[in-house]
Amino acid sequence: MSDPRQPADGSALVEVRGLRTTLNGKVIFDGIDLDIPRGRITAIMGPSGTGKTTLLRHLTGQLMPDAGTIRVDGSNVPKLSRNELFDLREKIGFLFQNSALLTDFSVFENIAFPLRQHLKLPEELVRNIVLTKLQAVGLRGAAELMPSELSGGMARRVALARAIVRDPMLILYDEPFVGLDPIALNQVLKLIRILNDTLGITSVLVAHEFAAVARVVDYVYLIAAGKIAAQGTPDELARDDSPWTKQFFGGEADGPVPFHYPARDYALDLGFPAASA
Amino acid sequence: MSSIPENRPQPAPRKHDASRIGDALAQVGACGLFLLAILAAIPKSLRYIRETIRQIWFVGAMSLVIIMTCGLFVGMVLGLQLYYVLSIFGGTAALGTVVSLSLYRELGPVVTALLFAGRAGTSVTAEIGLMRATDQLSAMEMMAVDPMAYVAAPRFLAGIVAMPLLACVFNALGIFGAHLVGVSWLGLDNGTFWSNMTSSVDVWKDVINGVWKSCAFGAVVSLIAVFQGYTTPPTSEGVAYATTRTVVFSSIVVLALDFVMTAFLM
């Protein structure tokens, strides 16, 4: 495989420069720069609450940053009008953490929804496209079920089929492996790789499972404390011995990322006299 | 031994009255801006005309049972009370006139709006609130489908269309109820009941003015219901409060608006 830092075919699809975001008084991003090369799978990883989902929301214009530029396919997202933003989103697939299926519609209609809203296709073609995508995620037989009849893992696969139904140029996966059994996880990993390679899609994947992620992604950004704490190919990060990567990928409680939320002295909370220093 | 409570989360400090008034005014302002956003989305929502029709069926046809039942009983009570009062002055012949004018001008639009807020307004708020809580609105935005055009505007338009129709049904059942009590039960002459009514009721001054009121009430109740659902915090408690606020705010605004409109339409 060619150098994963370089785009498969030309420039980076997503360019983020000097991104600064503060939410509810907490600094989420403090000057982040990153590139997502075209045709590659890039993972955004980091401890919980570091703003991985917030970064995806910035890329799609659901949330505007305090400062910085976010270029997606050449468009500066924070400067786009609502209509321009919708035009851009037509080329982006987004897999939500909680699937976000439309509960009034069947599985089939959920996947057909983007097609019906934007394209005037013959019903037979809509049916074929939807069944093809459902077959890809292994749920063709569940086409007539309602979202309330699906398990969490099945709902995520339906949401994935909906995200790819229009063959977007960019797919953003927000925690795609949560709730999947090992068989489905394996199939979804393969699907992400196949979609990327055969259709030339660019993928951004937010996840915590390094072992799974390392099997498919080309490049990883580790975000912590509002900065890019580490970046590289999965192999490079696995060998990296910086405190951030050692703690995150080793799953250690002690390290630069505190496991405990700031609190009063434990003994005092339990009603014992404070230990003398 | 000291117990945990020292760092237990304390209840939020009671808000100052001025701050509460400020919050209320901010809500009114936000609701006004939301109305402008809905109006701007209406041309785009015409693409989703089937969704609008589905919503008219949902808030209109599905409310028929409660509207018809209440209309019938309100008419029966009116017939009974007014017959008693009018009989004191020997004016029972005016029963049809008084009942129909009460219904067309005031009771029909107002009571229908209050029932509509309780039946359809709350369900719209809860539905949109749950869509917000489960990211369905965000998912639509990510699929480049404007939720203001696909979700908010059709429900707003459905309220404006359904309310006058429901008020007409309410009025019809009310008059039927009054006829049942006055004519069938208490023995008032059938011809007197209808002829006095038709000679005293003016289509434009009485019936159409009532229809205008119904349209305005439908718009107000739908706006409040959609706004509350759209802006509710994405929690079960948030949705519960939002549905309650829909009924409370709708009732107050409908009664206040009724006074204003009556003053202008008289």
Judged by CB atoms closer than 8 Å, whether chains meet at A102 and B139 is answered as yes
A138 touches chain B (CB under 8 A): no
Query: Scanning the structure block, which residue is given the tokens 């807020």?
Result: B117
Q: Contact, A78 vs A60, CB < 8 A?
A: no
Helix (H) or strand (E) holding A28: strand A26-37
B contacts of A82 (beta carbons < 8 Å): 146
Provide the whole-model pTM: 0.84
Judged by CB atoms closer than 8 Å, whether chains meet at A89 and B4 is answered as no
B143 touches chain A (CB under 8 A): yes
What digits encode the pLDDT tens for the residues B77-123? 999 999 999 999 888 899 999 999 999 999 999 999 999 999 999 99
| For testing contact with chain B, the best of A91, A261, A269, A272 (most B CBs within 10 A) | A269
Token pair for residue A28?
């989420």
Write down the pLDDT at residue A199. 79
B contacts of A264 (beta carbons < 8 Å): 6-7
Residue B179 lies in a domain: yes
- For A268, how many CA atoms within 13 A lie in the half-sphere containing its CB? 10
Rounded Cα distance, B175 and B103, in Å: 8
Write down the pLDDT at residue B2. 44
Residue A55's nearest CA partner among A46, A229, A83, A81 is A46
A contacts of B139 (beta carbons < 8 Å): 94, 96, 100-102
Write down the pLDDT at residue B31. 94
Helix (H) or strand (E) holding B70: helix B64-88
Determine phi and psi for A33, rounding to 5 degrees.
-120, 130
Helix (H) or strand (E) holding A33: strand A26-37
B4 touches chain A (CB under 8 A): yes
Which of A82, A102, A264 minimises the CB distance to B136?
Answer: A102
Determine phi and psi for B47, rounding to 5 degrees.
-65, -25
What digits encode the pLDDT tens for the residues B59-74? 999 999 999 999 999 9
Strand A41-45 versus strand A170-174 pairing type: unpaired
The interface predicted TM-score (ipTM) is 0.83
B135 touches chain A (CB under 8 A): yes
A75 touches chain B (CB under 8 A): no
Sign of CA pseudo-dihedral A242, A248, A254, A259: positive
Rounded Cα distance, B241 and B235, in Å: 10
A contacts of B141 (beta carbons < 8 Å): 62, 89
Residue B47 lies in a domain: no
A contacts of B7 (beta carbons < 8 Å): 263-264, 269
Determine phi and psi for A29, rounding to 5 degrees.
-125, 135
List per-residue pLDDT tens for chain A, 277 residues long.
Answer: 455 555 555 578 899 999 999 988 888 898 889 999 998 999 999 888 888 999 999 999 999 999 999 999 988 999 999 889 999 999 999 999 888 999 999 999 999 999 998 888 999 999 999 999 999 888 899 999 999 999 888 898 899 899 989 889 999 999 888 777 888 788 888 888 888 888 788 999 998 888 888 888 999 998 888 888 889 898 888 887 787 777 777 777 777 777 777 788 888 888 887 665 4
Chain centroid to CA A165: 17
Judged by CB atoms closer than 8 Å, whether chains meet at B7 and A102 is answered as no
**Superfamily of domain A12-91+168-269 in the CATH hierarchy:** P-loop containing nucleotide triphosphate hydrolases (3.40.50.300)
Can you give the residue ranges of every domain in chain A? Answer: 12-91+168-269, 104-166
Find the domain containing B225 and state its range: 53-265
Residue B262's nearest CA partner among B113, B94, B110, B117 is B110
Q: Which residues pair with A228 in a beta bridge?
A: A223
